[in-house]
């Protein structure tokens, strides 16, 4: 049951001309409700072995490609720290099926130390362009 919160996924893009210093912005990709998954001890130790950490694992419906290094903005969930949503880097993408045989994706997340600006426009059910740079 995908009722733990809401996840908007963004792709990091370089908006500068070739040869100029890179400037990263976020481009809206997709969104879905999510459920929390348990972080297993094996996953924790594997992350520590490569000097990374696992802050959260969530499950979303598989409605298209989600890639490692995209940004997940989580809102409307327990433990939310930022009123505008908490930002995480997607460090692992694991397509699978749930107990009903439906396609889902488990996302391993690492909280960002420095968040991106995300501009939102309210409209006919759309969250906006999702464009923005680092704060």
Q: Which tokens go with 127?
A: 């969250």
**How far apart, in whole angstroms, are the C-alpha atoms of residue 108 and residue 89?**
8
Average pLDDT estimate for 16-31: 92
| Residue 46: per-residue pLDDT | 67
**Between 87 and 132, residue with greater pLDDT:** 87
| Residue 133: per-residue pLDDT | 58
**pTM exceeds 0.75, yes or no:** yes
User: Residue 47: pLDDT band by 50, 70, 90 thresholds?
Assistant: low
Residue 130 predicted with pLDDT over 90: no
% residues pLDDT > 90 (the chain): 61
% residues pLDDT > 70 (the chain): 79
75 and 85 Cβ atoms separated by less than 8 Å: yes
| Residue 48: per-residue pLDDT | 61
116 and 133 Cβ atoms separated by less than 8 Å: yes
**Between 64 and 93, residue with greater pLDDT:** 93
Which residue ranges make up each domain of the chain?
5-14+23-111
The CATH architecture of the domain made up of 5-14+23-111 is Beta Barrel (2.40)
Q: What is the per-residue pLDDT across 70-87, written as a single tens digit (0 to 9) for each?
A: 999 999 999 899 999 999
DSSP secondary structure, 35-62, as one string: EEE---HHHHHHHHHTT----EEEEEE-
């Amino acid at each position: 049951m995908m009722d733990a919160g809401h996840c908007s996924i963004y792709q990091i893009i370089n908006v500068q001309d070739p040869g100029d210093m890179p400037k990263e912005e976020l481009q809206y990709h997709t969104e879905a409700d999510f459920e929390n998954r348990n972080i297993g001890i094996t996953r924790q130790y594997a992350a520590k072995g490569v000097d990374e950490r696992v802050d959260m694992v969530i499950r979303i419906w598989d409605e298209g490609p989600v890639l490692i290094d995209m940004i997940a903005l989580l809102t409307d969930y327990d433990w939310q720290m930022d009123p505008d949503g908490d930002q995480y880097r997607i460090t692992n993408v694991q397509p699978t099926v749930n107990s009903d045989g439906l396609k889902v994706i488990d996302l391993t997340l690492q909280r960002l130390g420095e968040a991106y600006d995300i501009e939102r426009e309210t409209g006919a059910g759309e969250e906006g362009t999702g464009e923005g740079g680092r704060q």
